[in-house]
Structure 1
């Protein structure tokens, strides 16, 4: 997408708020008329100062109604007119800034909402390709660029264009020849200005990109500070950071030079035009001094909004570059999108089935013709080495991804016939990394069911063996646990996640390596919670540690995207296959560690 297309799409966000823009334009019209009135009154002002009487308002460049007033009234009337014009301009300025600020905030609010909705609607694999810091920079620096453009660029284009038209009309009315000569400099500057603008745009786009890189590295650095310090990696990180800052500086300074050259060029051309017009007027005496003063005032005033138009173009360029980055995200689509005619998924009666599924992450094959049953009321486990495709099964079941071939069936019906969100609502997920949100314990437990009563919350916490430690917290269920639950231990966070899953009442519980990152004591606590939760439930347990799945109704050993063998814990041990070998390896290692 080019910058022009990005700017046009950004302008569409202003359509719902066109009423606010019309109000701003009305204030700009008042401001433009007031500015033109100032220029027109400069000639009479000179006459007023020189003559000191009402005759100063007659002649070729007259203010008719003042010329008819008595001398004393005119002496007070003209200054009063100047003050009134100033009041009108002040009201116009105030109104246009207020309404343009309101317009900008509403546009950015809508854009932020759409971007947040899009990011939260993407699949985990899509988000994993983006650096978190770069995503955050799109919400901060890129949104700020759009906000400034909406507030200042749109307003300037409307206000300054209107002022240029009014002032040019005044200048041409005074003298079509001199006014035309002095105004001709404006179109003459268009070609070099456009070239400089393209150069500034290139630098602006590169600067925005480098800013995203800086934000990404900062986020990574803060998240990995222990590793950086443990390996004395500060110097290497600083070198990387310095490279990005230098690239950002080069791009921004180059863009600033190009932007600054535009008003500088206008200044030189304007001075040349004014000098030529003054020389011609002095040589030919084509105009009386008062009229010439009004003409010169109008032309001098017209150059300022023209320069302002060139100056605020930088905001448009920054917004265009930011829009390219924002729409690159907004145009992403989830791998599983609802086609027309889908319906909500019905309650699950028999079970789920992945049938002859193939799936790849780029060139890497994750699943090779896998077929898997998840019967209702049974605990199904997937075990095997890392990279075998176990977590990919979770992504397919929850409709984070779509099989490249094969099908997901719900009670024998293809899941593509159902709304993806309704299929997803059939699952409660507990992952390896226990994810909690900043807020209270109660808020986190109610995340999946905001309408749950306190009694239901406490019952779910008791099932997950979490009620005891929750009540021991300073404010019990109302205790704030910090970002990602930093005030709790790993085992406590995981038990809260299990309680949240229980409270959600989803018919299928998915535990994806739920105990693999825990220490032995925390693992025992979570295992006790799972022992209370799993019996009689429809569940999928993905585990690396086989001790987690011994009570499962059926265990599948998954390796290289295929199911090698299936059965209960005892059946697989008796078979003496891959599972038995993994069991021997893990239990013998545990015994040696205990010894």
Structure 2
């Protein structure tokens, strides 16, 4: 299979505005399941807009008729009608807010779940070429932008579009002459505000970027506190963080100054325009060309129209930023894992009772990692492993030992050749079936931020507590677990920081044992331990390997002397295999490695 690039383009400005909003429409599959909610939102939005457009008319009649001596007896009725209209507006606005907020949260949650579910199924090849921080940024920052648009901006845009169209119509109905004047003044007022507003938005993005820079500095240092303190760099790191904070402060001040100036300009221009139109209207009232109520109605529509234009301009900016976020998220969803299942996968046959009754075969395998396509990690590699056999893989770094495990677990597929399990090519079975027979213990143990019970049970979530304890006993972990403050229910902290290296390894071994694997894969599981911890972990590994096919990667040859067969690798090829005694005589590479370790 040819190497497939799955790099997603780095976009340093997550919130940078795009000039196109086309990617927004790719969110439709996440919006359509809630069509009934959207209908209710649209109804509430329409009622609120109509009520808002009716208010100026109500004020007109209140002024023209309510205060005249002939209509004095009806003034109470006018005020009741005005209050009733405000209640309709309030209820419709509240319903609109509730529905759009619900939709924003719901669609964002669905989008996050869909992206996460897609990403966790990706082959490690994807993460070899993509930064995890980039994925997390898209899951958090980008989805938050979309939430703001779906939950607020979209409905605000529709509402203000209704108000703009309705306001313009009512302006001309009220006074065509003044409407022409107001349109001219609106253009003169809104244009500079819009242009200046773009500068403010850019400064806002710069300010957020500087805050993100400061957070990045803090996160890096807090994750490396022991190193910082051991090299006595607390003062330097504090100064570095303070510098980032001051830079963020300076950028924020620029944003605040620009926002203040925008406010000043907006208020002066808007009230200048309103004063000018009021003066024209006052002249018309004095000339008996319109009533005071009509003038009030016209001014209210003018204010509604101007506000709608400003809001639409802001919503357009939100839509542009959200379009960029949607494009980045869809980019993630579009990426396909290079490791795929065939359309009609075969069942993987496993023996029910004899765990060791499964053989493994590498047949003329050629493989290179996608980040190094020109370098073969395995070259025409062939190896047969008998059921129940204990195989040790040794060789210098980069020889291809860990790559064999990666192919067995189908994290990658070879460019050519076959990897077979129990006679079946792993490419022909489901991914979950292909990985089910294997239990793996890594050098860099993974401990989740949960209890001991949660961590061991991760291999089999339905396992009983007694089964967990039995696995822990086989892993030589039961004694130290019982000594913990809450025993198996003790919270271990992020990455298991409350445990020693040997304790973390034994919990990892217990996890592998609990999964009851047919094949045990051990990747340098004791190389980073002290002598006492290594002895305990090695005993646990010996227990776990009973009646199982076992593959062990080890740099410490003393841990694999009892292997049925030692396979020596170099530059992706098998250069020798046999027992320890045989290899000392037949393999110059193995003899050299042994001499370095056993020279004393």
Asked if structure 2 preserves the Cα contact closer than 8 Å seen for 1:214 and 1:241, the reply is yes
| Residue 337 of structure 2: aligned partner | 334
* Alignment match, 1:13: 30
Aligned counterpart for 1:373 among listed residues 384, 393, 396: 384
Contact 2:21–2:320, Cα closer than 8 Å, also in 1: no
Question: Matches of residues 181-200 of structure 1 in structure 2 within 5 Å?
Answer: 181-183=181-183
The structural deviation recorded for 1:171 is 2.0
8 Å Cα contact 2:52/2:89 also seen in 1 = yes
Q: 1:486-506: CA deviations, max 9, x gaps?
A: 222211111111111111122
Aligned to 1:46: 63
Aligned residues: CA RMSD: 3.4
- Alignment counterpart, residue 455 of structure 2, candidates 423, 444, 455: 444
Cross-structure match for 1:351: 360
Matched residue, 2:152: 152
Equivalence map 1:372-521=2 (5 Å) = 372-521=383-532
Q: How does 1:180-259 map to 2 (within 5 A)?
A: 180-183=180-183, 215-233=215-233
- Following the alignment from structure 2 to structure 1, what is the Cα–Cα distance between the partners of residues 61 and 345? 75
> CA shift at 1:22, angstroms?
2.1
* Structure of greater relative contact order (alpha carbons < 8 Å, 6+ residues apart): 2
| 8 Å Cα contact 1:509-1:540 kept in structure 2 | yes
Q: Give 1:530 deviation, angstroms.
A: 1.0
For 2:127 and 2:359, how far apart are their aligned partners in 1? Answer: 33
Q: 1:234 to 1:209 in 2, by over 3 A?
A: same
Gaps in structure 1 of 5+ consecutive residues = 55-70
Deviation (angstroms), 1:104:
0.8
- Matching residue of 2:104: 104
After TM superposition, give the deviation of residue 245 of structure 1 in Å.
Answer: 6.5
Match of 1:298 among 298, 301, 318: 301
Whole-Å separation in 1 of the counterparts to 2:540 and 2:494: 24
Change (3 A) 1:574 1:205: farther
Q: Residues 103 and 151 of structure 1 are in contact (CA less than 8 Å); yes or no, is this contact kept in structure 2?
A: yes
2:21 corresponds to 1:4:
yes
Indicate conservation of the 8 Å contact 1:550/1:569, yes or no.
Answer: yes
The CA deviation at 1:102 is 0.5
8 Å CA contact 1:370, 1:562 repeated in 2: yes
Give me the TM-score of the superposition, normalised by structure 2.
Answer: 0.84
Whether the 8 Å CA contact 1:205–1:318 is kept in 2: the answer is no
Distance, in Å, in 2 between the alignment partners of 1:368 and 1:190 is 68
Compute the displacement of 1:95 (Å): 0.9
* TM-score normalised by length of structure 1: 0.85
More deviation, 132-141/10-19: 132-141
Aligned residues: 572
Answer yes or no: is the 8 Å Cα contact 1:145–1:322 preserved in 2.
yes
Aligned to 2:337, what secondary structure does the other structure show? coil
User: CA 1:333–1:560 in structure 2 vs 1: closer, same or farther (change >3 Å)?
Assistant: same
* 2: CA distance, partners of 1:373 / 1:291: 94
Give the superposition deviation at 1:138.
Answer: 3.7
Structure 2: where are the runs of 5+ without partners? 1-8, 10-17, 352-357
* CA deviation profile, 1:321-365 (whole Å, cap 9, x unmatched): 433443443333323122433344333743232533221332554
Assess if the C-alpha contact under 8 Å between 1:259 and 1:314 holds in 2: no
| C-alpha separation in 2, matches of 1:271 and 1:432 | 71
| 1:288 matched residue in structure 2 | 291
